[in-house]
Amino acid sequence: MAKKIGIIGAGGMLQYHAAGFKAAGAELHAICDMNQEAAHEAAKVYGAPNVFADSQKMLEELKDLDAVSIITPNRTHRPLALQALQAGKHVFCEKPPALNAAEVKQMKEAAENAGKTLMFNFNNRARPESYALRKYIDAGEVGAINSAQAKWIRRTGIPGFGGWFTNKELSGGGPLIDLLHMVDLALYYMDYPVPSCVLAQTFDDFIQDKNFKGPWGIPDVADGVTDVESAAHGFVRFQTGQVLNFQVSWAEMNKREEVSVTFQGRKAGGMIRRLFGSDGLDETAIDDCELYVQEHGRSVNRSIVTEPNEDMGRIRSAENFVRSINGEEDPLNTPDQALALMKIIDATYESAKTGRPVDIA
């Protein structure tokens, strides 16, 4: 029978969740948004038969919901996930998993207690390039990955000033937490080794500067708070001896927006990269997916050709959630991985604050 899904949050990301759930044969059974107008509008667009302003009411009234999708600002991820898991629903939650590792631990335990699936929208794992690279890794053609470099760097990408994105209490942080995808992807390729130590620095030079506002995001809030970083740089060591360095920014004077993971394996190196155009995704954007090997005395660069995927795996990722709860596919991510990722993020902020390397327990 088609799985019945209740959506919480009818903002910009809903379109991708809706398309992915539909592709997997699920039914959008309800839309809940505290903004009633947005909820009704979305219910009309997606043909959802039930509309709510309050998620608790939705869970009480719709006992037949199988799963809940959480597409709301970061601070609400933990309470809404706990509410849905405690009501016995599977949960698909937008990234970041929550504000910090302690919150993710609570969510993971709630999923275990409920015996329900908890997944997060690390959608870059669902890009065609990621599936392709994973095949080479799983086939043993890359070998153990010693080291990786993860980047999501923007030149003028601050998503509004004073709204929830730039308010640490509501978002958990700036680009480090917002653009965590490439760090996650690098860890995914490295088979999620256990992190042992982080040395990092954050910068906030441009976070109040309107010249660095991005073409996306949410409206400015005149008397709102803007207290997050504009860039973060860090180095992570894992218990295995593997290492990762990362660079994430909303505002740094780089030539163009780059979203990439590069890795060095014992048998092959590789890279997945999108270079955006001058104003976000336009016809000058360039996607690359490559493997680097030594063969017959020569350096050989293999270019892996995949179908174009503008949405960066967002639809496929939502589809994977439904197929996972249907038992048709393995989940693309687990709560343990989300917890490890959030420990790295916590340690990054701690290292930036103390100026010291931070051990991860």
Binding site for ligand NAD (CB under 6 A): 8-13, 32-35, 38, 55, 71-74, 76, 94-95, 121, 123, 218, 314
CB-count exposure of residue 41 (10 Å: 0-12, 13-18, 19+): middle
Query: Which is nearest to 231 in space by CA: 258, 196, 207?
Result: 207
Edge-to-edge strand list for the sheet holding 67-70: 50-52, 27-32, 4-8, 67-70, 90-93, 118-120
State in angstroms the smallest separation of the CB of 55 from ligand NAD.
5
Q: What tokens were used for 319? A: 């589809």
CA 166 to chain centre: 17
Alpha-carbon span 40 to 308, nearest angstrom: 33
Minimum CB distance to ligand NAD smaller for 160 or for 269: 160
Minimum CB distance to ligand NAD smaller for 57 or for 356: 57
State in angstroms the smallest separation of the CB of 345 from ligand NAD.
13
Minimum CB distance to ligand NAD smaller for 31 or for 142: 31
Q: What tokens were used for 130? A: 């990621």
Q: What tokens were used for 293? A: 């090997």
Q: Which residue is nearest to ligand NAD, using beta carbons?
A: 11
Q: Which amino acid is at 95?
A: K
Minimum CB distance to ligand NAD smaller for 5 or for 243: 5
Minimum CB distance to ligand NAD smaller for 8 or for 272: 8
State in angstroms the smallest separation of the CB of 316 from ligand NAD.
12
Alpha-carbon span 34 to 17, nearest angstrom: 18
State in angstroms the smallest separation of the CB of 199 from ligand NAD.
26
Minimum CB distance to ligand NAD smaller for 55 or for 130: 55
What are the φ and ψ backbone dihedral angles of 176, each rounded to 5 degrees?
-60, -40
State in angstroms the smallest separation of the CB of 122 from ligand NAD.
8
Minimum CB distance to ligand NAD smaller for 75 or for 237: 75
Minimum CB distance to ligand NAD smaller for 159 or for 270: 159
Kindly provide the residue ranges of all beta strands, DSSP E only, lying in 19-144, ordered along the sequence.
27-32, 50-52, 67-70, 90-93, 118-120
State in angstroms the smallest separation of the CB of 181 from ligand NAD.
7
State in angstroms the smallest separation of the CB of 268 from ligand NAD.
28
State in angstroms the smallest separation of the CB of 32 from ligand NAD.
5
Q: Rg of the chain's alpha carbons, rounded to an integer?
A: 20
Minimum CB distance to ligand NAD smaller for 72 or for 260: 72
- Cis omega (within 30 of 0) for bond into 357: no
State in angstroms the smallest separation of the CB of 2 from ligand NAD.
24
What are the φ and ψ backbone dihedral angles of 100, each rounded to 5 degrees?
-160, 175
Alpha-carbon distances of 279 from 4, 33, 273, rounded to whole Å:
38, 30, 17
